[in-house]
Structure 1
Amino acid sequence: MQCIVLLQNAVIEVGDDMEIAEHITAVGQEAKTLAAAADQGGLDVEVPTCPGWDMRELLRHLSMIHLWAAGHVAQLHDGSWGDDLAEFTEFWPDLAVFWPEDEKLIGWYLDTNANLVQTLESAPLDVEAFTFLPAPSPLAMWARRQAHETAVHRFDAENAAGIASGFDPVFAADGIDELLMAFAPRRSEFPIDNERTMVVHATDTNDRWHVTLAPTGITTVRGDGPAEVTLAGDASDLYLAVWNRGDSSDIDITGDRNVLAAFHNGHRVRWS
């Protein structure tokens, strides 16, 4: 199987298995870094980028997401998984403990992550599974989604613990692409009166996305074009900006900032 990705304005053919493997590696690596931040910051520290959560709640959330994702890839039952925690207990009685005591929480999180990594690595490339984002294959979608889910929450944990945080430029550009090309266009409406346009330009990878906000939803194409506001900067900083993290101080914003505010205020990531 082959997929087409755009890197540095060149069309490059990449084998699905290579890209999937890179995302699976990121799932495990980001989890270890997140766990170290949680250990340093402590479970009671508030997570400013996830209002109302402390580090404890962040770990619980991500552990459940890892079990949820692994359940889909492992095809433990037909259809999508709901929010019934008992379903996890049925298939993973040793992992689906809601919730472990504090002294076991970080280790338990790492165990749920290792279970996810093992499930992704052992799945056939043509596995059939529920998906909710466009991708070359279900396995590609779940590996990519869990890589960025873990990475963004790794930033949340490090930020809460007072640790400087950043991302590899190519990985960050991939995360921007997932949000703008896959998540954002899923909705058929957007809370805006008139069509507005925005360009996001990752200067270190030379990737560009042209985003149109309209009452009928968001559309995104890879490339440049006329826009009312342009965001330019390193991919790592832009990754945080489009995911509503960071303060955008390292990004060059040219044009009407109200368009960016409309995107931030109107776009919410959901899986359903």
Structure 2
Amino acid sequence: MATWAQEAGLDAPVPTCPGWTVHDLLAHQGRVHRWALAALSGADLATVDIDDLDGPDGDAVAWLRAGAAELLDVLRAAPDDLVAPTFLKESPAPRMFWARRQHHEATIHALDALAARDSRDPRHGRAPTPDDAWFDDATAVDGIDELLVGFWQRRTNGPRAEADPYTAVVAADSGARWLLDVGTGRVTTRRLPPDGPHPEAAAVLSGPATDLYLALWNRGGAPHDPDGLLARWSHPGRIT
């Protein structure tokens, strides 16, 4: 992320985060690092507003790197039975929760930095694709799971049915599958066994794990979407 941000330039627009520059992207990611550090220290997240935390004063890339390094040190030193707040549905224990959450936060925003670099550099001139992924399918599957199970089941996140509720299956080529009940109030998500029967559903979104990861997080990707789910889900399900 830091390298691509430097290559893009701090004033470059970030096409995957409309209205942001690379400097805005680094400021957001760095504040999230420091917000996570506050949580790991036991702070009440209701009293810590990310936007109220100090941003970079000077070298934004160095400030980003410093926050990431401190966060890694704290996570490595934390005990497995750490007591700290979490905020997603069906989340793992706090130490693993924050390692996972920050891993996907940084991965998605690194893709944003890459998109900013490629939108400015005529040698590239394209948005990131699954071919640019430096992470494996297991990471992509875990990131899909965090979104569908953790974020989208919260009352404030996730798509809603415009009228009649419906069911949808998200299926990765790796065998991971999720059944979503999309209602007018909230989404409920159920993990499906990879070798179980295919449930009846009104719509299906499927494809390679990396394509699904990018698409569901609104960062590109081209999964098979015959029912137009992404168009319905992209705005209400968006997580920054």
Provide TM-score, normalisation by structure 2.
0.84
Counterpart CA distance in 2 for 1:136 and 1:129 is 12
2:182 to 209, 213, 221: 213
Does the alignment pair 1:115 with 2:70? yes
The residue type paired with residue 49 of structure 2 is D
Counterpart CA distance in 1 for 2:156 and 2:62 is 41
Which residue is equivalent to 1:180? 148
Aligned residues of 1:169 and 1:235 also touching (Cα < 8 A):
yes
Which residue is equivalent to 1:197? 167
Does the alignment pair 1:82 with 2:37? no
Q: Give the fraction of aligned pairs with identical amino acids, expressed as a percent.
A: 38
Correspondences of 1:29-40 after superposition (within 5 Å): 34-40=1-7
- Aligned to 2:152, what secondary structure does the other structure show? helix
Which residue is equivalent to 1:14? none
Counterpart CA distance in 1 for 2:23 and 2:144 is 27
Deviation (angstroms), 1:79: 5.0
Counterpart CA distance in 2 for 1:110 and 1:177 is 27
Of stretches 226-235 and 174-183 in structure 1, the one that deviates more from structure 2 is 226-235
Aligned residues of 2:40 and 2:84 also touching (Cα < 8 A):
yes
Which residue is equivalent to 1:91? none
Alignment deviations for residues 93-148 of structure 1 (CA, whole Å, 9 cap, x no partner): xxx5x3322xx111111000001111111111111111101323111211111110
Which residue is equivalent to 1:62? 29
Correspondences of 1:11-22 after superposition (within 5 Å): none
The residue type paired with residue 48 of structure 2 is G
Which residue is equivalent to 1:50? 17
5+ residue gaps, structure 2, are 119-123, 193-197
Deviation (angstroms), 1:221: 1.1
Aligned residues of 2:144 and 2:216 also touching (Cα < 8 A):
yes
Counterpart CA distance in 1 for 2:152 and 2:214 is 15
Does the alignment pair 1:253 with 2:235? no
Aligned residues of 2:4 and 2:117 also touching (Cα < 8 A):
yes
The residue type paired with residue 198 of structure 1 is A
Which residue is equivalent to 2:195? none
Provide TM-score, normalisation by structure 1.
0.75
Aligned residues of 1:74 and 1:123 also touching (Cα < 8 A):
no
The residue type paired with residue 51 of structure 1 is P
Shift of the 168–73 alpha-carbon distance from structure 1 to 2, 3 Å rule, reads same
The residue type paired with residue 215 of structure 1 is T
Aligned residues of 2:35 and 2:50 also touching (Cα < 8 A):
no
Count of aligned positions:
220
The residue type paired with residue 57 of structure 2 is P
Counterpart CA distance in 2 for 1:267 and 1:160 is 22
Deviation (angstroms), 1:253: 1.8
Which residue is equivalent to 2:115? 159
Counterpart CA distance in 1 for 2:109 and 2:44 is 29
- Aligned to 2:179, what secondary structure does the other structure show? strand
Deviation (angstroms), 1:225: 1.6
Structure in which a larger fraction of residues adopt strand: 1
Shift of the 234–84 alpha-carbon distance from structure 1 to 2, 3 Å rule, reads closer
Alignment deviations for residues 70-104 of structure 1 (CA, whole Å, 9 cap, x no partner): 111022x4454422777x6xxxxxxx5x3322xx1
Of stretches 223-232 and 62-71 in structure 1, the one that deviates more from structure 2 is 223-232
Counterpart CA distance in 2 for 1:232 and 1:202 is 6
Which residue is equivalent to 1:232? 206
1:100 to 57, 71, 83: 57
**CA RMSD after TM alignment:** 2.1
